[in-house]
């Protein structure tokens, strides 16, 4: 996809962070946007700061609700007439040991981070196949490549998004639908503040505020930089998009030390703690 001008792009989790930055950049590049989030007030704020002239529609959407997705796909088709790209960006964080983690918390994150991607992909795939060129962009994480303590649930969902998307990409390789997986490192968003952060990765009982401040110190990439990397990656036909120097470094270490990387990162966590 060499241009976003006059394309219809669906973006989930568009009320803040990477989703909002994607909406801003796509708007400036002439796209028509179907934006969704569970936070309608913040979503309307996103719409208010867009500077493009394309059509923008807003929808309150719980990505964990399959029926809502199916209705949303029909609504977007009715509103825009076509769909050229979907960016499954919405996601949440959970930090807790496997032993202490509740089933309710596990189901919560799986329903949003994994099933939300599955529902979004399957609901819009028939519409995407109607277009001469189209794209599915599924946001995983660097934690879809490496695993760390207290991140078992988050790792599980992001590894699942990676596997689902890489398989889908092979199934659609001879079609008009381009498929890519996005692996952000630390991005300056509210994911920690909005998450269920019950035990920090260093194993201590830091408060949510302490974890959020620590994350803000180590997260070096802005949402705008992340959005730019994603959109340029789609234009360049990249099948895996790594965002940030931290993600690229961790990916490289995992490739060099596919088993022992955990020892390396464990040492780094102790230093950070």
pLDDT tens profile 105-124: 999 999 999 999 999 999 99
Residue 92 is part of a domain; what is its CATH number? 3.40.50.720
| Structural domain includes residue 14 | yes
Looking at residue 204, its pLDDT comes to 64
Cα-based angle 138, 140, 143 (whole degrees, multiple of 5): 170
| Structural domain includes residue 189 | yes
Instruction: Round the average pLDDT of the chain to a whole number and report it.
Output: 93
Contact 142, 242 (CB under 8 A): yes
Best CA proximity match to 239, nearest among 132, 114, 121, 138: 138
Number of domain units in the chain: 1
| Structural domain includes residue 213 | yes
Dihedrals φ, ψ of 102, to 5°?
-85, 155
| Structural domain includes residue 93 | yes
Best CA proximity match to 189, nearest among 155, 149, 241, 226: 226
Quick one: CA dihedral 172, 181, 147, 191, positive or negative? negative
Total residue length of the chain: 273
| Structural domain includes residue 3 | no
Contact 208, 150 (CB under 8 A): no
pLDDT tens digit sequence for 53-96: 999 999 999 999 999 999 999 999 999 999 999 999 999 999 99
pLDDT tens digit sequence for 183-241: 999 887 877 777 788 887 766 667 766 666 666 666 789 999 999 999 999 999 999 99
| % of the chain exceeding 90 in pLDDT | 80
| Structural domain includes residue 52 | yes
Range of the domain at 181: 8-272
Whether pLDDT at 273 is above 60: no
Contacts of 80 (CB under 8 A, 6+ apart): 8, 32, 34, 55, 57
13-17, 68-72, 257-261, range with the lowest pLDDT? 257-261
| Structural domain includes residue 61 | yes
Residues labelled as active-site residues: 154
| Structural domain includes residue 1 | no
Which residue shows structure tokens 């952060």?
Answer: 197
- Give mean pLDDT, residues 147-172: 97
Best CA proximity match to 89, nearest among 169, 44, 34, 168: 34
Confidence bin at 266 (pLDDT 50/70/90):
confident
């Amino acid at each position: 996809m060499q241009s976003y001008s006059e394309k219809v792009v669906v973006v989930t989790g568009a009320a803040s962070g990477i989703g909002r930055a994607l909406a801003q950049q796509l708007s400036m590049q002439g796209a028509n946007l179907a934006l969704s989030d569970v936070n309608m007030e913040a979503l309307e704020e996103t719409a208010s700061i867009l500077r493009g002239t394309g059509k923008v529609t807003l929808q309150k959407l719980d990505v964990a609700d399959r029926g809502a997705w199916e209705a949303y796909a029909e609504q977007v088709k009715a509103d825009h007439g076509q769909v050229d790209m979907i960016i499954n960006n919405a996601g949440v964080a959970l930090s807790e040991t496997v032993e202490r983690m509740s089933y309710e918390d596990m189901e919560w994150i799986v329903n949003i981070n994994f099933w939300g991607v599955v529902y979004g992909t399957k609901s819009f795939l028939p519409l995407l196949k109607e277009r001469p060129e189209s794209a599915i962009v599924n946001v995983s994480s660097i934690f879809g490549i490496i695993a760390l303590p207290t991140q078992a649930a988050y790792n599980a969902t992001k590894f699942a998004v990676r596997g689902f998307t890489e398989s889908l990409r092979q199934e659609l390789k001879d079609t008009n639908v381009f498929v890519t997986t996005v692996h952000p490192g630390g991005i300056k968003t509210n994911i920690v503040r909005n998450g269920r952060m019950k035990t920090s990765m260093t194993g201590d009982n830091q408060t949510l505020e302490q974890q959020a401040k620590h994350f803000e110190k180590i997260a070096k990439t802005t949402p705008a930089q992340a959005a730019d990397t994603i959109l340029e990656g789609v234009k360049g036909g990249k099948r895996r998009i790594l965002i940030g120097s931290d993600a690229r470094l961790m990916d490289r270490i995992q490739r060099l030390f596919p088993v022992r990387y955990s020892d390396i990162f464990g040492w780094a966590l102790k230093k950070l703690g």
